[in-house]
Amino acid sequence: MSHKIAPSLLSADFLNLQADIEMVNNSDADWFHCDVMDGSFVPNISFGFPIIKQIGKIAKKPLDVHLMIVNPDQYIPVVKDAGAYMMNVHYEACVHLNRTVSAIREAGMKAGVTLNPHSPVWLLEDILEYVDMVLLMSVNPGFGGQKFIEYTLGKVSRLKEMIEKKNLRTLIEVDGGVNLETGKRLVDAGADVLVAGNAIFGDANPAEMIHKLKSLV
Ligand code: DX5
Ligand code: ZN
C-alpha cells in the first residue's frame, strides 16, 4: 500500500480557503490535516472547531485533526461534531491517555497519539494496540515552515519495528519540515502518512507537489 499525503491547511491561503480545499479535493492527496493550537500547549494560536466544521462541508477527503492543546478530552464531542475522521492528541498533553484514547474511539473516531520531538517512541509500548495512528512531530509544534529534525528518522524505524513485532496495523504519520527530500527518507524508514504544509502551499504548483510527494518510492 502506498503512503498517504495529508496537506496541512495551516499553510493554505485563509483568504481563499475554498480554492485551496478544492485544489486538495482534486489532487492525489488522501487527507486534510487541520492544526488546532491554543496558545498554551504551543506558543501560537491557529483556528478552531467552527472553521474545521466549515472545511468539512466541502472537503471530499477525511479530516485528520491535530490538537496542539491542553486537556483535549473536553473537546472530543466537539471534534466529532466538526467532522473529524482522525483525532490526534499529544502524549504530553494527556494525563490519562488510556482513557482519552478509549473515549475518542467510543465517540466514533480513529485515535491518534502525537509525540513531540523529545518524547521517545517506547513511551507508547503498552498503549500501541489501542491506537490507530502515531503522529511523530519532526519539528517543535506551533509553526509551519520549520526545519526537519533529523533524528525523527530513527524514531520512525524504531516505531515500525515495535508495530511489526506486535503484528499491529497502527499507522505512522510524520509532521514538520516534510518535503521531497525528507519525505523520501521517511517513506524508506516506514512512514505511512506524510503531512506537508509549506512544501505544498509554498510551491508554485501545489497539486503537482502533492503528486510528487505521493509518487515517492
Ligand atoms: C506544526 C503543525 C504542522 C505544520 C507543518 O506545528 O503541526 O502540521 O503545518 O508545516 P510544514 O510542513 O510547513 O513544516
Ligand atoms: Zn500538524
What is the H or E stretch that residue 114 is in? strand 110-115
CATH number of the domain that 130 lies in? 3.20.20.70
- Percent of the chain with pLDDT strictly greater than 70: 100
Q: How far is residue 29's CA from residue 63's CA, in Å, rounded to a whole number?
A: 12
Q: What is the pLDDT of residues 147-178, one digit of tens each?
A: 999 999 999 999 999 999 999 999 999 999 99
pLDDT of the residue at 3: 98
Enclosing domain of residue 46: 4-214
Strand partners, 63: 32, 84
pLDDT of the residue at 183: 98
The phi, psi pair for 36, rounded to 5°, reads -105, 125
- Percent of the chain with pLDDT strictly greater than 90: 99
Q: What is the mean pLDDT of residues 30-45?
A: 98
pLDDT surpasses 90 at 1: no
pLDDT of the residue at 20: 98
SS (H, E, C) 44-56: CECCCHHHHHHHH
Q: What is the pLDDT of residues 65-109, one digit of tens each?
A: 999 999 999 999 999 999 999 999 999 999 999 999 999 999 999
Cβ(198) – ligand 1 distance below 6 Å = yes
Q: How far is residue 32's CA from residue 6's CA, in Å, rounded to a whole number?
A: 5
Ligand 2 centroid to residue 175 C-alpha, Å: 6
Ligand 2 centroid to residue 10 C-alpha, Å: 8
Chain CA centroid to CA 115, Å: 11
Catalytic positions, written as ranges? 35, 175
pLDDT of the residue at 141: 98
Note whether 39 and 47 are within 8 A (CB): no
Q: If you average pLDDT over every residue of the chain, what do you get?
A: 98
Ligand 1 centroid to residue 177 C-alpha, Å: 7
Number of neighbouring beta carbons within 10 Å of residue 77: 10
Tell me which residue has its CA closest to atom 6 in ligand 1: 141
Count of structural domains, the chain: 1
All 3 cell numbers of residue 69?
492543546
pLDDT of the residue at 96: 98
Cβ(11) – ligand 1 distance below 6 Å = yes
Cα dihedral 107, 29, 151, 137 sign: negative
Note whether 158 and 125 are within 8 A (CB): no
Q: What is the mean pLDDT of residues 180-209?
A: 98
Q: What is the mean pLDDT of residues 112-139?
A: 98
Q: How far is residue 49's CA from residue 103's CA, in Å, rounded to a whole number?
A: 18
Atom of ligand 1 nearest to the CA of 44: 6
